[in-house]
Structure 1
Amino acid sequence: MRTSTMRRKPISPGQCRAARAILMMTREVLARKAKIANATLADFELGKRTPHSHTLSVIRSTLEEHGIVFINSGGSGARQGEGIFHALY
């Protein structure tokens, strides 16, 4: 179940890369799970382009479904929620 798309700060390319690293999830797997093009995700993470707000929301929601909590106070980052682990495949 996707979380609400209410006003949330968009994730940054660095947060996306960090979240994938925490989950040991490849870019290809995240793109497949988020149902977006791998090139879109790659370009976003490399800072080459900013996807549409809906696409950013889908990326964020997909990572949150796998236990990632995004941090936006006192800096930005990502961490794994306590006691949460989801299969990656």
Structure 2
Amino acid sequence: MITGPQIRAARALLGIDQRELARLSGLSTQTIQRMETCQGSVRVVVDSLEKVMTAISGAGVELIVEGVPSIGTGRGVRLIDRKATDSDEG
């Protein structure tokens, strides 16, 4: 599951705006905007999501999918699942 915040974070790491990501992925800026507003799973045509993921990966950023190990060996970030850590502390 890829989320809107992941796409925004990837753009930030690359230092590009929505227009540039749209150009790199061959999609419209409006499609990128819609993807980024999704807090949960991005809800778009699978082909569009694949284009964005390919563009981001091609530019040098790995999107880490929940439950899937990272293939990279460099540094990275991952959001903490607050629900899981909060229940562990109880």
What is the TM-score of this pair, normalised by structure 2? 0.65
CA separation in 1, counterparts of 2:49 and 2:24? 13
Q: Which has the larger radius of gyration?
A: 2
Question: Which structure is higher in helix share?
Answer: 2
Q: Which runs of 5+ in 2 are unaligned?
A: 75-90
Cα deviation, residue 73, structure 1: 4.4
Which 4+ runs in 1 deviate beyond 3 A?
Answer: none
Bigger strand fraction = 1
Structure 1 stretch displaced more, 59-68 or 41-50: 41-50
What's the % identity of the aligned pairs? 25
Partner of 1:47: 38
Question: Equivalent of 2:49, from 56, 60, 71?
Answer: 56
Indicate the residue corresponding to 2:27 in structure 1. 36
Structure of greater relative contact order (alpha carbons < 8 Å, 6+ residues apart) = 1
Q: CA deviation at 1:14?
A: 1.1
What one-letter code is carried by the residue in structure 1 that aligns with 2:50? Answer: S
Q: Look up the equivalent residue of 1:41 and give its one-letter code.
A: I
**Residues 69, 81 of structure 1: 8 Å contact kept:** no
Superposition deviation, residue 39 in structure 1: 0.5
Q: Taking structure 1 as reference, are residues 81 and 61 closer, same or farther at Cα in structure 2, changes over 3 Å only?
A: farther
AA partner of residue 51 (structure 2): V
Q: Any unmatched runs of 5+ in structure 1?
A: 1-9, 75-79, 83-89
Q: Note the aligned Cα RMSD (angstroms).
A: 2.3
The two structures have a TM-score, normalised by structure 1, of 0.66
